[in-house]
Amino acid sequence: MEVVSAPAEMQRLAESARRQGARISLVPTMGFLHEGHLALMREARRRATMLVVSIFVNPTQFGPAEDLARYPRDLDGDLAKLRRIPADLVFAPDSSALYPPGAQTWVEVSELTRGLCGAHRPGHFRGVTTIVAKLFNLVRPHLAIFGEKDFQQLRAIQRMVRDLDFDIEVVPFPIVREADGLAMSSRNAYLSAAERRDAQALSRALFAARDRYAAGLRDPQALCAIAAEVIATHPGVQLEYLEAVDAETLDAAPGAGRPILLALAARVGATRLIDNVVLGDR
Catalytic residues: 37
Q: Minimal CA–CA distance to 241: which of 260, 223, 217, 267?
A: 267
Q: What is the DSSP string of 78-118?
A: HHHHHHHTT-SEEE---HHHHS-TT--------STTSSTHH
DSSP string, the chain: -EEE--HHHHHHHHHHHHHTT--EEEEEE-SS--HHHHHHHHHHHHH-SEEEEEE---GGGS-TTSSTTTS---HHHHHHHHHHTT-SEEE---HHHHS-TT--------STTSSTHHHHSTTHHHHHHHHHHHHHHHH--SEEEEEGGGHHHHHHHHHHHHHTT---EEEEEPPPB-TTSPBP-GGGGG--HHHHHHHHHHHHHHHHHHHHHHTT---HHHHHHHHHHHHHT-TTEEEEEEEEEETTT--SSPPTTS-EEEEEEEEETTEEEEEEEEES--
Q: From CA 231, how far away is CA 198, in angstroms rounded?
A: 9
Tell me which amino acid residue 47 is: R
Residue type, 223: L
